[in-house]
Amino acid sequence: MFDSGVGGLSVLRAIRRQLPSASLRYVADSAHAPYGEKSVDFIRDRAERIAAHLVGQGATVIVVACNTATAVAIDELRRRWPACSIVGVEPGVRPAVAASRNRHVGVMATDATLRSERFRALVARESDGCTMHLQACSGLAAAIEQRDLKDPVLADLVRRYASALREAGVDAVALGCTHYTFVSAAIEQSLGAGIRIIDTASAVAAQVARVCQAKEGAGAEPGCRLETTGDPLRLAQFAARWLDFDLEIAAAPVSL
């Protein structure tokens, strides 16, 4: 698994619950986070480097635990490693549409995700005539990555973006960045009562479980190792707060 930083830990947590004996390897590319504010070429290069690293460690299933990287890089990853099952994450447009009563649906995501052809195709395919309110959350993933979750700057960003969707009249909101899961309670509070939040971590984990069960030998070496291109201490702090299983944490190879 990999993500631009700590956001994908929300997906890792859900996968561990689905596959308690799986061998899990996670790369947090925190030295280059957030991806949502980087160029397409940069994101693709990072995704390919990290995928090559994971394949080199023996991965047969790779989870792109980042909406932005999924949107701009997953097709190329699948072309380069056809023998590897590559699972991505996308904003839960379909379940948000299904949950909406007034047909006004919000999506909170990075600029890069919202601009991507893959996301536009997703909305065209799944919106079912709903009015879609797309909220670019510039700086939010970076604030989650770098700040304490109770930091006032982070709280202000959450209020600003959630308030814009509340004022637009949405009654369902899809979280389009795995980082946002960690502030979902604050988002829910800012949106107000009666607005449903859709997070796809459990759905992604269920898909990974299906893929792994179809692969002979998947999960043969249980354990969980987290690597980061950033500060291992920062990753350890996040992991201690959000993950309730044994793991090891290390700096990623210098080559990454």
Catalytic residues: 66, 177
Q: Which residues of 190-208 are buried (b: 16+ CB within 10 A; e: fewer)?
A: bbeeebbbbbbbebbbebb
Nearest-angstrom CA–CA distance, 113 and 180 = 14
Q: How far is CA 3 from CA 10, 66, 146, 148, 186, in A?
A: 11, 5, 15, 19, 22
| SS3 label, residue 197 | strand
In degrees and rounded to multiples of 5, residue 91 shows phi and psi of -55, 140
Which residue shows structure tokens 């561990």?
Answer: 16
